A and B are shown apart, each in its own frame.
Chain A
Amino acid sequence: KQEVTQIPAALSVPEGENLVLNCSFTDSAIYNLQWFRQDPGKGLTSLLLIQSSQREQTSGRLNASLDKSSGRSTLYIAASQPGDSATYLCAVNGGGADGLTFGKGTHLIIQP
């Protein structure tokens, strides 16, 4: 059974810092990996999707990398801002139509 772990569970940093969120998964036979953002009391917003054949994806200040063989992904946030404060979720797709397996998330606070 696929298991997804996110480290750290919580992170608080001053504004302007570059930071890295980590995601690991136990079964490397994935189809893709998706990073989401969740604001308190809200739904999930997709940030980046990396196909299993890709090494990284970028969107603005966000960069996600994927090392499928080692079962790891990182989300890099450059020049963090208070508006980046949220919970970040990592999820893997095993390739079927049977949904995503999620990590428990990293709760990020950016201090002004």
Chain B
Amino acid sequence: GAVVSQHPSWVICKSGTSVKIECRSLDFQATTMFWYRQFPKQSLMLMATSNEGSKATYEQGVEKDKFLINHASLTLSTLTVTSAHPEDSSFYICSARAPRDSTASPLHFGNGTRLTVT
């Protein structure tokens, strides 16, 4: 089945530094990937939709200059948290849908990245 790999699984960084999270579709090409954020004991909140070869579409309230998304190939999307602050500490999860799947089909999720900003 479709596998989405996310790296790193956890990262600790100092306040003010930037962190890059990678999301790869291993056995399929993903024209669209989705980035979610999840705080402890809460649900997933959609941050942005990443489209291969074009700019990401951000949800209301998500700062595009802080959360940089690059989807340069059909198998890789990256999320960079720039100038991270403790309030950015969260669980970030990417997901993708294979091109052959309809827009109503399930998403395939990575295992998430636990970001802790000290």
Chains A and B form a bound pair: no
Residues of chain B having any CB pair with chain A under 8 Å:
none
